[in-house]
């Protein structure tokens, strides 16, 4: 691409696309070079990116929420691009999109082979995984899909804490985390193709700021009780109401009738976590709810969820959530209580 040529960014859409991601990306990327001068001088500048919404087939269709999408082109018509963004494509957290997007996956592979930067937002990373573009790479995506990646894409190094993974950008792959991480991706693409100054200008126009705390503060524990191993499933159901008791892993082991080693092995195979890590996760989830309500002191929170040592609780909370309990309260209590900022 010459210095004066516009980079072409294709936004891949399907019926499962989330319109907030698709149209948010389109609005921001298409306005680079036009919105900032209009806002500051009253003179509309020239668009610096060629942004196209593409789909597998011609014609309009309705996406998630019954929102109309009218693609600019089909994938077959757009044979060369500088970057592709696979927008969020909703899928159930326990169901990989096997065999569902064959034409899209073939096109992504071709674009990647031609040197295009292939990006994804949220569950769009599942298409990259299906295409084999994430094998051996670190990947961001919505935190809710971490178990699906663990079970269905073991060659992908899924990072539920990440907002934007740039490790493989030199190899033509960038992945963004859940939903509004499209904003971080948009600013990165603007910086890459238009320069850091344009990215900063765009951030100011749209009030965009990075997710510096990552995804961990937003992540919640998946609580699906698995059914393949009935013994472990029964223990999951029991511990959900008894996580605060003393020696909960020992109690679960006794209830299972298994040896400690066998119980630990089967529990991890069924849930993806060691028993003690599962207990910690349950306790931290309840602690977050108590902290959000602001009515409970932080030391009292620790005691209520099963930790006799508040210092240990604070260290564990920071490790699991990415914020201290106090910082977490500052971040979310106003939302939980309906306050204004």
Mean pLDDT by 10 residues, the chain (341 residues): 76 94 96 91 91 94 93 93 95 90 96 97 95 96 91 93 94 94 95 94 89 81 77 94 94 95 94 93 93 85 94 95 91 66 43
Place of tokens 């400690």: 260
Question: What is the SS3 assignment for 268?
Answer: helix
The CATH class of 7-206 is alpha beta
The predicted pLDDT at position 39 comes to: 85
Closest listed residue to residue 175, CA positions, set 137, 216, 141, 209: 141
Write out the two tokens for 52. 């196209």
Angle, helices 325-336/310-321, rounded to nearest 10 degrees: 70
CA 31/CA 289 separation, integer angstroms: 40
The answer to whether 51 and 30 have CB atoms below 8 angstroms apart is yes
The predicted pLDDT at position 4 comes to: 59
The answer to whether 143 and 109 have CB atoms below 8 angstroms apart is no
Question: What is the SS3 assignment for 139?
Answer: strand
Q: How far is CA 223 from CA 144, 185, 237, 270, in A?
A: 11, 30, 10, 12
Q: Does an H or E element contain 301, and which? A: helix 298-304
The predicted pLDDT at position 177 comes to: 92
The predicted pLDDT at position 176 comes to: 96
CA 107/CA 83 separation, integer angstroms: 12
The predicted pLDDT at position 251 comes to: 96
CA 128/CA 115 separation, integer angstroms: 15
Pinpoint the residues of the chain covered by CATH 1.10.10.60: 230-336
CATH topology of domain 230-336: Arc Repressor Mutant, subunit A (1.10.10)
Pinpoint the residues of the chain covered by CATH 3.40.50.880: 7-206
């Amino acid at each position: 691409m010459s210095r004066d040529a516009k980079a072409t960014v294709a936004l891949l859409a399907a019926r499962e696309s989330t319109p907030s991601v698709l149209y948010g990306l389109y609005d921001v990327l298409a306005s680079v070079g036009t919105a900032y001068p209009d806002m500051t001088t009253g003179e509309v500048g020239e668009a610096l990116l060629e942004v196209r919404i593409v789909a597998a087939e011609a014609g309009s269709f309705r996406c998630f929420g019954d929102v109309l999408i009218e693609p600019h082109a089909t994938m077959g018509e757009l044979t060369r691009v500088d970057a592709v963004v696979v927008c969020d494509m909703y899928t159930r957290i326990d169901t990989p999109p096997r065999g569902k997007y064959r034409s899209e996956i073939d096109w992504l592979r071709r674009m990647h082979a031609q040197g295009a930067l292939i990006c994804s937002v949220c569950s769009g990373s599942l298409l990259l995984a299906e295409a084999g573009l994430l094998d051996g790479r670190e990947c961001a995506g919505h935190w809710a899909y971490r178990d699906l990646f663990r079970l269905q894409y073991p060659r992908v190094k899924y990072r539920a804490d990440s907002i934007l993974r740039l490790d493989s950008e030199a190899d033509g792959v960038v992945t963004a985390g859940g939903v509004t991480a499209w904003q971080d991706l948009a600013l990165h693409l603007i910086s890459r193709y238009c320069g850091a100054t344009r990215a900063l200008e765009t951030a100011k126009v749209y009030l965009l700021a990075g997710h510096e705390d990552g995804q961990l503060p937003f992540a919640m524990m998946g609580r699906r009780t698995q059914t393949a191993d009935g013994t472990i499933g029964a223990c999951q159901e029991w511990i959900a109401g008894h996580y605060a008791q003393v020696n909960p892993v020992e109690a679960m082991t006794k209830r299972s009738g298994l040896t400690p080693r066998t119980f630990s092995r089967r529990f991890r195979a069924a849930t993806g976590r060691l028993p003690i890590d599962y207990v910690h996760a349950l306790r931290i989830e309840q602690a977050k709810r108590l902290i959000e309500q602001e009515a409970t002191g932080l030391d009292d929170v620790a005691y209520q969820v099963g930790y006799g040592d508040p210092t240990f609780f604070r260290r564990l909370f920071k490790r699991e959530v990415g914020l201290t309990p106090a910082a977490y309260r500052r971040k979310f209590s106003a939302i939980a209580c309906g306050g204004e900022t």
